[in-house]
Amino acid sequence: MRYFLELSYNGKNYHGWQVQPNVITVQEKINDGLSKLLKSSINIMGAGRTDTGVHAKQMFAHFDFDTIINDVTNLKDKLNSFLPDDIVIYKIFEVNEKAHARFHAIKRSYEYHIFMGRNPFLLDVTWQLYRNKLDINAMNEAADLLLKQSDFKCFSKTTDVNTYICDVSEAYWKLIENNLVFYISADRFLRNMVRAVVGTLLDVGMHKISITDFKKILASRNRSEAGFSVPARGLFLTKIEYPKSIVKDE
């Protein structure tokens, strides 16, 4: 049987999602908890691989288990008691045998949070800018170009993927008081892509580059032409969408 987990986590204390040697990761913590509870070696597969320090308001993962789990709510509650407070499981549910947390996701959404000022209570979940005035209209004009772009190699940290094609369906900035948030959704994302996009759009907002320059960067397919990658602490994976057909018997 295959089961999905819906969860969230604060990424501050983790070296990203994926299990790695000699460091603590989110996947490792959940693997350990499930393996102890189910008395079997469990290796969950996540919907994506967030980097060190990146947070997730909504993440999904799947695992296989030979025996039917009659009380998934009880398993969820017990698993939460095994996990640290910065990882929370909200739901465990059975899905079709071929449902895949990564490959069947049809849309992913991220937010990048910037606090325009200084706030000691937001240091772990925002990047704080207090010396720069930003042209948000120009940043949104540049962000709109992402919806017309298909190849995002210029924002990719990885050079060995099969394709750099992503279908971006929304990308925009919104300022509410001192909170500046960038929203972006796509069918898939490349490694470090969102943080590089945000850094380059900030260059537009600070008038370090023009809209014309931004267009040239998109056409260049060269990471060195794009802007800096903003710090991980402001980045949140916020939503992952799946077709309804993944749920068992639907």
34-45 pLDDT tens trace: 999 999 999 999
Q: What is the mean pLDDT of residues 225-229?
A: 96
Q: Report whether CATH 3.30.1330.10 matches the domain 107-238.
A: no
Q: Which pLDDT value is given to residue 249?
A: 63
Q: Is the pLDDT of residue 131 over 80?
A: no
Q: Report the distance separating Cα 51 and Cα 157, nearest Å.
A: 12
CATH of domain 2-103: 3.30.70.580
Start-end of CATH 3.30.70.660 domains in the chain: 107-238
Q: pTM of the entire structure? A: 0.94
Q: Is the pLDDT of residue 144 over 50?
A: yes
Higher pLDDT, 6 or 161: 6
User: How would you classify the pairing of strands 55-64 and 107-116?
Assistant: unpaired
Residue entry with tokens 């909170």: 179
Start-end of CATH 3.30.70.580 domains in the chain: 2-103
Percent of the chain with pLDDT over 90: 92
Q: Which pLDDT value is given to residue 51?
A: 93
Q: What is the mean pLDDT of residues 3-31?
A: 96
Q: Which pLDDT value is given to residue 114?
A: 97
- Catalytic pick among 32, 51, 160, 187: 51
Identify whether the C-beta of residue 34 lies closer than 8 Å to the C-beta of residue 215: no
Q: Is the pLDDT of residue 160 over 80?
A: no
Neighbours of 123 (CB within 10 A): 13
Return phi, psi of residue 222, to 5°. -125, 115
Three-state DSSP state, 129 = strand
Respond yes or no: is residue 187 known to be catalytic. Answer: no
- Quickly state the pLDDT bin for 250 (edges 50, 70, 90): very low
What value does the mean pLDDT of the chain take? Answer: 95
